[in-house]
Structure 1
Protein backbone atom coordinates (compact mmCIF):
# COMPACT_ATOMS: atom_id res chain seq x y z
CA UNK A 1 0.00 0.00 0.00
CA UNK A 2 1.48 3.36 -1.02
CA UNK A 3 1.64 6.30 1.34
CA UNK A 4 -0.58 9.30 0.51
CA UNK A 5 1.31 12.45 -0.40
CA UNK A 6 2.25 14.96 2.25
CA UNK A 7 0.06 17.59 0.58
CA UNK A 8 -2.94 15.30 1.09
CA UNK A 9 -2.10 14.77 4.74
CA UNK A 10 -1.16 18.21 6.00
CA UNK A 11 -3.38 20.27 8.25
CA UNK A 12 -4.34 23.89 7.72
CA UNK A 13 -1.63 26.50 8.26
CA UNK A 14 -1.28 27.25 11.94
CA UNK A 15 -1.26 30.71 13.44
CA UNK A 16 1.28 32.22 15.86
CA UNK A 17 2.15 30.17 18.92
CA UNK A 18 4.98 29.15 21.22
CA UNK A 19 7.97 27.57 19.45
CA UNK A 20 10.96 25.98 21.22
CA UNK A 21 14.07 25.15 19.17
CA UNK A 22 17.13 23.28 20.42
CA UNK A 23 20.25 24.17 18.46
CA UNK A 24 18.52 27.44 17.70
CA UNK A 25 21.64 29.59 17.91
CA UNK A 26 22.99 28.46 14.52
CA UNK A 27 22.28 26.76 11.21
CA UNK A 28 18.84 25.36 10.39
CA UNK A 29 17.60 25.87 13.96
CA UNK A 30 18.47 29.56 13.88
CA UNK A 31 16.97 30.03 10.40
CA UNK A 32 13.73 28.38 11.48
CA UNK A 33 13.61 30.42 14.69
CA UNK A 34 13.99 33.69 12.79
CA UNK A 35 11.40 32.64 10.23
CA UNK A 36 8.77 31.78 12.81
CA UNK A 37 9.60 34.89 14.84
CA UNK A 38 8.83 36.92 11.73
CA UNK A 39 5.50 35.10 11.39
CA UNK A 40 4.45 36.07 14.91
CA UNK A 41 5.55 33.15 17.08
CA UNK A 42 7.03 33.53 20.51
CA UNK A 43 10.35 31.72 20.04
CA UNK A 44 12.66 30.17 22.62
CA UNK A 45 16.05 29.05 21.34
CA UNK A 46 18.31 26.73 23.33
CA UNK A 47 22.05 26.48 22.78
CA UNK A 48 25.50 26.88 24.28
CA UNK A 49 26.91 29.78 22.23
CA UNK A 50 26.35 33.10 24.03
CA UNK A 51 27.40 35.35 21.11
CA UNK A 52 25.21 33.53 18.59
CA UNK A 53 22.29 33.55 20.99
CA UNK A 54 22.70 37.26 21.63
CA UNK A 55 22.75 37.82 17.85
CA UNK A 56 19.33 36.17 17.61
CA UNK A 57 18.00 38.47 20.34
CA UNK A 58 19.48 41.46 18.50
CA UNK A 59 17.67 40.35 15.33
CA UNK A 60 14.45 40.15 17.33
CA UNK A 61 14.93 43.74 18.52
CA UNK A 62 15.58 44.90 14.95
CA UNK A 63 12.25 43.52 13.71
CA UNK A 64 10.30 44.72 16.75
CA UNK A 65 9.88 41.25 18.26
CA UNK A 66 12.09 41.51 21.35
CA UNK A 67 9.16 40.63 23.61
CA UNK A 68 8.65 37.36 21.70
CA UNK A 69 12.27 36.11 21.70
CA UNK A 70 14.06 34.25 24.46
CA UNK A 71 17.43 32.56 24.82
CA UNK A 72 18.12 29.65 27.16
CA UNK A 73 21.81 28.81 27.33
CA UNK A 74 22.44 25.18 28.20
CA UNK A 75 24.75 22.25 27.56
CA UNK A 76 22.21 19.72 26.33
CA UNK A 77 24.72 16.91 26.70
CA UNK A 78 24.09 17.00 30.44
CA UNK A 79 20.99 15.44 31.95
CA UNK A 80 21.02 18.02 34.74
CA UNK A 81 21.00 20.86 32.20
CA UNK A 82 18.05 19.34 30.35
CA UNK A 83 16.15 19.08 33.62
CA UNK A 84 16.94 22.74 34.40
CA UNK A 85 15.70 23.75 30.95
CA UNK A 86 12.53 21.74 31.50
CA UNK A 87 11.88 23.52 34.79
CA UNK A 88 12.36 26.93 33.16
CA UNK A 89 10.18 26.14 30.15
CA UNK A 90 7.37 24.60 32.16
CA UNK A 91 7.43 27.55 34.54
CA UNK A 92 7.28 30.14 31.79
CA UNK A 93 5.07 28.42 29.21
CA UNK A 94 2.14 26.26 30.38
CA UNK A 95 1.34 25.72 26.69
CA UNK A 96 3.92 24.95 23.99
CA UNK A 97 2.75 24.53 20.41
CA UNK A 98 5.90 23.38 18.62
CA UNK A 99 9.11 21.70 19.76
CA UNK A 100 11.93 21.38 17.24
CA UNK A 101 15.12 19.39 17.82
CA UNK A 102 18.04 20.66 15.74
CA UNK A 103 21.02 20.42 18.10
CA UNK A 104 23.78 18.05 17.01
CA UNK A 105 27.49 17.81 17.76
CA UNK A 106 29.91 15.44 16.02
CA UNK A 107 32.85 13.81 17.80
CA UNK A 108 35.62 11.97 15.97
CA UNK A 109 36.98 10.78 19.32
CA UNK A 110 34.90 9.14 22.00
CA UNK A 111 34.32 11.27 25.09
CA UNK A 112 32.06 11.14 28.11
CA UNK A 113 30.15 13.96 29.73
CA UNK A 114 30.82 15.03 33.31
CA UNK A 115 27.93 12.73 34.21
CA UNK A 116 29.67 9.72 32.68
CA UNK A 117 27.56 9.30 29.53
CA UNK A 118 29.00 9.03 26.00
CA UNK A 119 28.61 12.48 24.48
CA UNK A 120 26.87 11.71 21.18
CA UNK A 121 24.37 9.42 22.88
CA UNK A 122 23.75 12.07 25.54
CA UNK A 123 23.54 15.12 23.30
CA UNK A 124 21.84 13.72 20.21
CA UNK A 125 19.46 11.25 21.86
CA UNK A 126 19.07 11.55 25.63
CA UNK A 127 18.41 15.30 25.46
CA UNK A 128 15.62 14.79 22.94
CA UNK A 129 14.18 11.98 25.04
CA UNK A 130 14.14 14.14 28.17
CA UNK A 131 12.77 17.29 26.55
CA UNK A 132 10.21 15.50 24.39
CA UNK A 133 8.67 13.55 27.23
CA UNK A 134 9.20 16.33 29.75
CA UNK A 135 7.26 18.86 27.67
CA UNK A 136 4.48 16.46 26.67
CA UNK A 137 1.99 18.02 29.09
CA UNK A 138 2.65 21.55 27.80
CA UNK A 139 2.38 20.33 24.21
CA UNK A 140 -0.83 18.48 25.06
CA UNK A 141 -2.46 21.78 26.04
CA UNK A 142 -1.93 23.15 22.51
CA UNK A 143 -4.68 22.91 19.93
CA UNK A 144 -2.24 21.56 17.33
CA UNK A 145 0.98 20.32 19.01
CA UNK A 146 3.87 19.11 16.89
CA UNK A 147 7.39 17.83 17.59
CA UNK A 148 9.85 18.04 14.71
CA UNK A 149 12.95 15.90 15.24
CA UNK A 150 15.71 16.75 12.75
CA UNK A 151 17.76 13.59 13.00
CA UNK A 152 17.96 11.56 9.78
CA UNK A 153 15.24 8.90 9.71
CA UNK A 154 15.16 5.69 7.72
CA UNK A 155 18.20 3.60 8.70
CA UNK A 156 17.73 -0.05 9.59
CA UNK A 157 17.57 -1.34 13.14
CA UNK A 158 20.90 -3.11 12.59
CA UNK A 159 22.78 0.14 13.26
CA UNK A 160 21.80 -0.10 16.93
CA UNK A 161 24.34 -1.65 19.28
CA UNK A 162 21.89 -2.91 21.86
CA UNK A 163 24.67 -4.32 24.04
CA UNK A 164 26.87 -1.21 23.70
CA UNK A 165 24.73 1.88 23.07
CA UNK A 166 27.51 4.17 24.30
CA UNK A 167 30.21 2.74 22.01
CA UNK A 168 32.62 1.71 24.71
CA UNK A 169 34.23 -0.62 22.17
CA UNK A 170 35.17 0.30 18.60
CA UNK A 171 33.98 3.89 18.68
CA UNK A 172 33.47 5.69 15.37
CA UNK A 173 31.99 9.17 15.20
CA UNK A 174 29.86 8.53 12.14
CA UNK A 175 28.54 5.25 13.52
CA UNK A 176 27.69 6.87 16.86
CA UNK A 177 25.84 9.68 15.12
CA UNK A 178 24.05 7.24 12.81
CA UNK A 179 22.93 5.09 15.73
CA UNK A 180 21.66 8.15 17.61
CA UNK A 181 19.63 9.09 14.53
CA UNK A 182 18.00 5.65 14.57
CA UNK A 183 17.31 5.95 18.30
CA UNK A 184 15.44 9.15 17.50
CA UNK A 185 13.31 7.23 14.99
CA UNK A 186 12.28 4.89 17.79
CA UNK A 187 11.76 7.82 20.15
CA UNK A 188 9.29 9.15 17.59
CA UNK A 189 7.48 5.81 17.49
CA UNK A 190 7.03 5.70 21.27
CA UNK A 191 6.07 9.38 21.48
CA UNK A 192 3.45 9.09 18.76
CA UNK A 193 2.04 5.98 20.39
CA UNK A 194 1.96 7.57 23.85
CA UNK A 195 0.68 11.05 23.02
CA UNK A 196 -1.46 10.61 19.90
CA UNK A 197 -4.67 10.87 21.93
CA UNK A 198 -3.53 14.35 23.04
CA UNK A 199 -3.34 15.35 19.39
CA UNK A 200 0.47 15.34 19.18
CA UNK A 201 2.04 15.03 15.74
CA UNK A 202 5.63 13.74 15.72
CA UNK A 203 7.66 14.39 12.57
CA UNK A 204 11.10 12.96 11.80
CA UNK A 205 13.04 14.98 9.22
CA UNK A 206 16.34 14.66 7.37
CA UNK A 207 17.02 17.75 5.23
CA UNK A 208 20.04 16.21 3.46
CA UNK A 209 23.59 17.51 3.28
CA UNK A 210 23.50 21.22 4.07
CA UNK A 211 25.99 24.06 4.01
CA UNK A 212 26.16 24.98 7.68
CA UNK A 213 28.64 25.31 10.52
CA UNK A 214 30.66 22.26 11.57
CA UNK A 215 29.67 21.89 15.20
CA UNK A 216 31.86 19.30 16.82
CA UNK A 217 35.30 17.83 17.25
CA UNK A 218 36.74 16.49 13.98
CA UNK A 219 39.95 14.71 13.16
CA UNK A 220 41.68 16.09 10.09
CA UNK A 221 40.52 13.38 7.70
CA UNK A 222 36.88 13.73 8.75
CA UNK A 223 36.99 17.50 8.51
CA UNK A 224 38.39 17.34 4.98
CA UNK A 225 35.66 14.86 4.03
CA UNK A 226 32.90 17.07 5.44
CA UNK A 227 34.28 20.18 3.78
CA UNK A 228 34.38 18.34 0.44
CA UNK A 229 30.77 17.23 0.89
CA UNK A 230 29.70 20.79 1.62
CA UNK A 231 30.92 21.95 -1.78
CA UNK A 232 27.91 20.23 -3.33
CA UNK A 233 25.54 20.47 -0.34
CA UNK A 234 22.31 22.42 -0.57
CA UNK A 235 22.21 26.00 0.77
CA UNK A 236 20.67 26.61 4.17
CA UNK A 237 17.54 28.24 2.78
CA UNK A 238 16.79 25.19 0.64
CA UNK A 239 17.37 22.75 3.51
CA UNK A 240 15.02 24.78 5.68
CA UNK A 241 12.06 24.42 3.31
CA UNK A 242 10.87 20.88 4.19
CA UNK A 243 11.33 21.56 7.91
CA UNK A 244 9.46 24.85 7.79
CA UNK A 245 6.69 23.10 5.83
CA UNK A 246 5.93 20.58 8.57
CA UNK A 247 6.12 23.29 11.24
CA UNK A 248 3.74 25.55 9.29
CA UNK A 249 1.37 22.72 8.34
CA UNK A 250 1.90 19.63 10.51
CA UNK A 251 0.88 16.28 9.00
CA UNK A 252 -2.38 14.76 10.16
CA UNK A 253 -1.03 11.37 11.25
CA UNK A 254 0.62 10.86 14.67
CA UNK A 255 4.00 9.84 13.17
CA UNK A 256 5.60 10.75 9.87
CA UNK A 257 9.12 10.82 8.46
CA UNK A 258 10.69 12.73 5.57
CA UNK A 259 14.08 12.62 3.86
CA UNK A 260 14.72 15.71 1.71
CA UNK A 261 10.97 16.19 1.35
CA UNK A 262 10.32 12.54 0.38
CA UNK A 263 8.00 10.74 2.78
CA UNK A 264 9.01 7.40 4.25
CA UNK A 265 6.61 4.61 5.16
CA UNK A 266 6.64 4.45 8.96
CA UNK A 267 4.74 1.15 8.94
CA UNK A 268 7.87 -0.82 8.03
CA UNK A 269 10.13 -2.78 10.37
CA UNK A 270 12.55 0.15 10.50
CA UNK A 271 10.05 1.82 12.85
CA UNK A 272 9.32 -1.29 14.89
CA UNK A 273 7.14 -0.60 17.94
CA UNK A 274 8.62 -3.44 20.00
CA UNK A 275 12.15 -2.10 19.41
CA UNK A 276 10.93 1.38 20.35
CA UNK A 277 9.49 0.11 23.64
CA UNK A 278 12.69 -1.81 24.32
CA UNK A 279 14.73 1.35 23.82
CA UNK A 280 12.38 3.27 26.10
CA UNK A 281 13.03 0.78 28.90
CA UNK A 282 16.80 0.78 28.32
CA UNK A 283 16.86 4.59 28.34
CA UNK A 284 15.16 4.74 31.72
CA UNK A 285 17.81 2.36 33.09
CA UNK A 286 20.56 4.65 31.76
CA UNK A 287 18.95 7.72 33.29
CA UNK A 288 18.66 6.10 36.69
CA UNK A 289 22.44 5.69 36.71
CA UNK A 290 23.04 9.40 36.13
CA UNK A 291 23.61 11.28 39.42
CA UNK A 292 20.65 13.46 40.35
Structure 2
Protein backbone atom coordinates (compact mmCIF):
# COMPACT_ATOMS: atom_id res chain seq x y z
CA UNK A 1 0.00 0.00 0.00
CA UNK A 2 2.82 2.40 0.79
CA UNK A 3 4.36 1.73 -2.65
CA UNK A 4 1.01 2.17 -4.40
CA UNK A 5 0.25 5.41 -2.58
CA UNK A 6 3.73 6.75 -3.28
CA UNK A 7 3.36 6.00 -6.97
CA UNK A 8 0.27 8.19 -7.07
CA UNK A 9 1.24 10.98 -4.70
CA UNK A 10 5.00 11.36 -5.03
CA UNK A 11 5.16 11.20 -8.82
CA UNK A 12 1.97 13.27 -9.12
CA UNK A 13 0.53 10.62 -11.42
CA UNK A 14 -2.90 11.57 -10.16
CA UNK A 15 -2.81 14.94 -8.36
CA UNK A 16 -6.60 14.92 -8.40
CA UNK A 17 -8.62 11.80 -7.64
CA UNK A 18 -12.36 11.87 -8.25
CA UNK A 19 -13.28 8.44 -6.89
CA UNK A 20 -11.66 5.80 -4.73
CA UNK A 21 -13.37 2.39 -4.75
CA UNK A 22 -12.23 -0.15 -2.16
CA UNK A 23 -12.89 -3.83 -2.85
CA UNK A 24 -9.84 -5.85 -1.71
CA UNK A 25 -10.60 -8.85 0.48
CA UNK A 26 -9.39 -12.35 1.14
CA UNK A 27 -10.71 -15.48 2.81
CA UNK A 28 -8.56 -18.35 4.00
CA UNK A 29 -9.28 -21.36 6.18
CA UNK A 30 -5.94 -20.92 7.99
CA UNK A 31 -4.32 -17.90 9.58
CA UNK A 32 -1.43 -16.42 7.60
CA UNK A 33 0.68 -13.32 8.11
CA UNK A 34 1.99 -10.66 5.74
CA UNK A 35 5.73 -9.85 5.63
CA UNK A 36 4.95 -7.08 8.13
CA UNK A 37 3.68 -9.67 10.62
CA UNK A 38 0.02 -8.75 10.25
CA UNK A 39 -2.84 -11.22 10.02
CA UNK A 40 -3.49 -11.21 6.28
CA UNK A 41 -7.29 -10.72 6.22
CA UNK A 42 -7.08 -7.82 8.66
CA UNK A 43 -4.24 -6.30 6.61
CA UNK A 44 -5.93 -6.53 3.21
CA UNK A 45 -9.61 -6.17 4.04
CA UNK A 46 -9.24 -3.37 6.61
CA UNK A 47 -5.77 -1.86 6.95
CA UNK A 48 -5.17 -1.36 3.21
CA UNK A 49 -8.49 0.48 2.97
CA UNK A 50 -7.58 2.62 5.98
CA UNK A 51 -4.28 3.66 4.38
CA UNK A 52 -5.77 4.38 0.96
CA UNK A 53 -8.68 6.36 2.42
CA UNK A 54 -6.59 8.62 4.63
CA UNK A 55 -3.46 9.04 2.58
CA UNK A 56 -5.21 9.76 -0.70
CA UNK A 57 -7.53 12.26 1.00
CA UNK A 58 -5.51 15.30 -0.20
CA UNK A 59 -5.84 14.22 -3.85
CA UNK A 60 -9.53 13.51 -3.32
CA UNK A 61 -10.16 16.87 -1.70
CA UNK A 62 -8.73 18.52 -4.82
CA UNK A 63 -11.61 17.10 -6.86
CA UNK A 64 -14.78 19.06 -7.51
CA UNK A 65 -16.89 15.99 -6.70
CA UNK A 66 -14.87 13.38 -4.78
CA UNK A 67 -16.23 10.16 -3.32
CA UNK A 68 -14.97 7.05 -1.55
CA UNK A 69 -16.90 3.80 -1.90
CA UNK A 70 -15.98 1.11 0.61
CA UNK A 71 -17.54 -2.20 -0.44
CA UNK A 72 -17.94 -4.32 2.68
CA UNK A 73 -20.82 -5.54 4.81
CA UNK A 74 -22.52 -2.53 6.32
CA UNK A 75 -26.00 -3.26 7.65
CA UNK A 76 -24.91 -6.65 8.92
CA UNK A 77 -24.60 -6.69 12.70
CA UNK A 78 -22.94 -10.08 13.01
CA UNK A 79 -19.38 -10.11 14.23
CA UNK A 80 -17.54 -7.74 16.51
CA UNK A 81 -14.07 -6.39 17.13
CA UNK A 82 -11.89 -8.36 19.47
CA UNK A 83 -10.16 -5.30 20.83
CA UNK A 84 -7.42 -7.27 22.57
CA UNK A 85 -6.82 -9.54 19.58
CA UNK A 86 -7.38 -7.65 16.32
CA UNK A 87 -4.79 -9.90 14.66
CA UNK A 88 -6.72 -13.10 15.52
CA UNK A 89 -3.66 -14.67 17.14
CA UNK A 90 -5.53 -16.61 19.80
CA UNK A 91 -8.67 -17.71 18.01
CA UNK A 92 -8.67 -17.70 14.23
CA UNK A 93 -11.71 -18.64 12.21
CA UNK A 94 -12.29 -17.68 8.59
CA UNK A 95 -15.84 -16.38 9.07
CA UNK A 96 -15.07 -14.81 12.44
CA UNK A 97 -12.05 -12.95 11.05
CA UNK A 98 -14.00 -11.81 7.97
CA UNK A 99 -16.76 -10.42 10.13
CA UNK A 100 -14.30 -8.65 12.39
CA UNK A 101 -12.68 -6.91 9.40
CA UNK A 102 -16.12 -6.01 8.04
CA UNK A 103 -17.07 -4.37 11.32
CA UNK A 104 -13.74 -2.54 11.28
CA UNK A 105 -14.62 -1.12 7.85
CA UNK A 106 -17.94 0.10 9.21
CA UNK A 107 -16.06 2.06 11.87
CA UNK A 108 -13.48 3.25 9.34
CA UNK A 109 -16.23 5.01 7.42
CA UNK A 110 -17.59 6.65 10.57
CA UNK A 111 -14.16 7.84 11.71
CA UNK A 112 -13.14 9.09 8.26
CA UNK A 113 -16.36 11.08 7.85
CA UNK A 114 -15.84 12.70 11.25
CA UNK A 115 -12.18 13.54 10.62
CA UNK A 116 -12.66 14.92 7.10
CA UNK A 117 -16.01 16.61 7.56
CA UNK A 118 -14.61 20.05 6.66
CA UNK A 119 -13.02 18.76 3.43
CA UNK A 120 -16.34 17.15 2.47
CA UNK A 121 -15.14 13.90 0.93
CA UNK A 122 -18.34 11.79 0.92
CA UNK A 123 -17.69 8.30 2.28
CA UNK A 124 -20.06 5.52 1.26
CA UNK A 125 -20.24 2.17 3.01
CA UNK A 126 -21.87 -0.21 0.55
CA UNK A 127 -22.95 -3.79 1.03
CA UNK A 128 -23.93 -5.21 -2.39
CA UNK A 129 -25.16 -8.49 -0.93
CA UNK A 130 -24.21 -12.01 -1.96
CA UNK A 131 -22.56 -11.67 -5.39
CA UNK A 132 -21.24 -14.19 -7.88
CA UNK A 133 -17.63 -13.14 -7.56
CA UNK A 134 -14.43 -13.94 -5.69
CA UNK A 135 -11.71 -16.58 -5.73
CA UNK A 136 -12.83 -19.81 -4.08
CA UNK A 137 -9.70 -21.80 -4.88
CA UNK A 138 -8.26 -21.38 -1.38
CA UNK A 139 -11.27 -23.05 0.22
CA UNK A 140 -11.77 -26.78 0.85
CA UNK A 141 -13.61 -28.61 -1.95
CA UNK A 142 -16.87 -29.15 0.03
CA UNK A 143 -16.99 -25.46 0.93
CA UNK A 144 -16.38 -24.43 -2.68
CA UNK A 145 -19.17 -26.67 -3.87
CA UNK A 146 -21.61 -25.37 -1.27
CA UNK A 147 -20.85 -21.73 -2.11
CA UNK A 148 -21.20 -22.35 -5.85
CA UNK A 149 -24.60 -23.99 -5.36
CA UNK A 150 -25.76 -21.16 -3.11
CA UNK A 151 -24.46 -18.58 -5.59
CA UNK A 152 -26.30 -20.25 -8.44
CA UNK A 153 -29.54 -20.15 -6.45
CA UNK A 154 -29.45 -16.75 -4.78
CA UNK A 155 -26.38 -14.62 -5.57
CA UNK A 156 -26.66 -11.43 -7.58
CA UNK A 157 -24.74 -11.06 -10.83
CA UNK A 158 -21.78 -8.70 -10.72
CA UNK A 159 -23.47 -6.16 -13.02
CA UNK A 160 -26.35 -5.78 -10.59
CA UNK A 161 -24.08 -5.40 -7.58
CA UNK A 162 -21.89 -2.71 -9.11
CA UNK A 163 -24.69 -0.65 -10.66
CA UNK A 164 -25.07 1.50 -7.57
CA UNK A 165 -21.32 2.11 -7.44
CA UNK A 166 -21.55 3.76 -10.86
CA UNK A 167 -24.33 5.98 -9.52
CA UNK A 168 -22.30 6.92 -6.43
CA UNK A 169 -19.36 7.96 -8.61
CA UNK A 170 -21.46 9.85 -11.16
CA UNK A 171 -23.45 11.70 -8.48
CA UNK A 172 -21.79 11.58 -5.03
CA UNK A 173 -24.06 12.19 -2.05
CA UNK A 174 -23.92 15.52 -0.26
CA UNK A 175 -23.54 13.98 3.20
CA UNK A 176 -20.25 13.03 4.86
CA UNK A 177 -21.29 9.41 5.46
CA UNK A 178 -23.80 7.22 3.63
CA UNK A 179 -24.49 3.57 4.38
CA UNK A 180 -26.34 1.38 1.88
CA UNK A 181 -27.20 -2.30 2.31
CA UNK A 182 -28.42 -3.93 -0.91
CA UNK A 183 -29.94 -0.71 -2.18
CA UNK A 184 -31.53 0.38 1.10
CA UNK A 185 -30.24 3.12 3.43
CA UNK A 186 -28.77 1.92 6.71
CA UNK A 187 -29.50 4.05 9.80
CA UNK A 188 -26.28 5.54 11.12
CA UNK A 189 -27.56 4.86 14.65
CA UNK A 190 -26.73 1.14 14.33
CA UNK A 191 -24.41 -0.04 17.12
CA UNK A 192 -21.96 -1.26 14.46
CA UNK A 193 -21.53 2.41 13.44
CA UNK A 194 -20.88 3.72 16.94
CA UNK A 195 -18.78 6.93 16.85
CA UNK A 196 -17.01 6.11 20.12
CA UNK A 197 -15.89 2.72 18.82
CA UNK A 198 -14.90 4.37 15.53
CA UNK A 199 -12.68 6.89 17.32
CA UNK A 200 -11.14 4.12 19.39
CA UNK A 201 -10.33 2.01 16.34
CA UNK A 202 -8.90 5.02 14.51
CA UNK A 203 -6.55 5.67 17.43
CA UNK A 204 -5.49 2.02 17.63
CA UNK A 205 -4.93 1.86 13.87
CA UNK A 206 -2.93 5.09 13.75
CA UNK A 207 -0.64 3.72 16.48
CA UNK A 208 -0.24 0.43 14.59
CA UNK A 209 0.64 2.19 11.34
CA UNK A 210 3.14 4.44 13.13
CA UNK A 211 4.75 1.40 14.73
CA UNK A 212 5.03 -0.38 11.38
CA UNK A 213 6.51 2.72 9.74
CA UNK A 214 9.06 3.09 12.51
CA UNK A 215 9.96 -0.57 12.28
CA UNK A 216 10.53 -0.41 8.53
CA UNK A 217 12.20 2.99 8.57
CA UNK A 218 13.83 3.44 11.99
CA UNK A 219 15.05 6.89 12.90
CA UNK A 220 18.87 6.93 12.75
CA UNK A 221 20.65 7.70 16.01
CA UNK A 222 21.84 11.27 16.48
CA UNK A 223 25.48 12.19 16.90
Whether TM exceeds 0.5 here: the answer is yes
Deviations 1:26-73 (A, max 9, x none): xxxxxxxxxxxxxxxxxxxxxxxxxxxxxxxxxxxxxxxxxxxxxxxx
Q: Which moved more, 1:159-168 or 1:279-288?
A: 279-288
Q: Structure 1 or 2: larger strand share?
A: 1
1:202 corresponding residue in structure 2? 123
2:29 corresponding residue in structure 1? 108
- Aligned to 1:266, which of 175, 179, 188? 188
2:80 corresponding residue in structure 1? 159
Deviations 1:64-92 (A, max 9, x none): xxxxxxxxxxxxxxxxxx11111111121
Q: CA deviation at 1:185?
A: 0.7
Give the 5 Å matches for 1:211-222.
211-214=132-135, 217-222=138-143
The structure-2 alpha-carbon separation of the partners of 1:157 and 1:208, relative to structure 1 and needing over 3 Å to count, comes to closer
2:211 and 2:116 map into 1 onto residues whose CA distance is: 26
Deviations 1:223-252 (A, max 9, x none): 223212211211111111122221222122
Tell me the matched-pair count: 211
Q: Which moved more, 1:113-122 or 1:103-112?
A: 103-112
Q: SS at 2:118's partner residue?
A: helix
The answer to whether structure 1 residue 130 and structure 2 residue 51 are counterparts is yes
Give the 5 Å matches for 1:131-150.
131-150=52-71
Structure 2 gaps, min length 5: 217-223
Structure 1 gaps, min length 5: 1-81
2:178 corresponding residue in structure 1? 256
2:38 corresponding residue in structure 1? 117
The structure-2 alpha-carbon separation of the partners of 1:285 and 1:222, relative to structure 1 and needing over 3 Å to count, comes to farther
2:82 and 2:39 map into 1 onto residues whose CA distance is: 13
- Aligned to 1:234, which of 156, 166, 172? 156
The structure-2 alpha-carbon separation of the partners of 1:200 and 1:179, relative to structure 1 and needing over 3 Å to count, comes to same
| 8 Å contact kept, 1:210–1:230 | yes
Q: CA deviation at 1:131?
A: 0.7
Give the 5 Å matches for 1:1-292.
82-90=1-9, 91-156=12-77, 159-214=80-135, 217-232=138-153, 233-290=155-212, 291-292=215-216
The normalised TM-score by structure 1 is 0.69
Which structure ranks higher in relative contact order (CA pairs < 8 Å, sequence separation ≥ 6)?
Answer: 2
| 8 Å contact kept, 1:144–1:199 | no
The structure-2 alpha-carbon separation of the partners of 1:157 and 1:165, relative to structure 1 and needing over 3 Å to count, comes to farther
| 8 Å contact kept, 1:186–1:276 | yes
Runs ≥4 residues deviating over 4 A: none
1:138 and 1:215 map into 2 onto residues whose CA distance is: 35
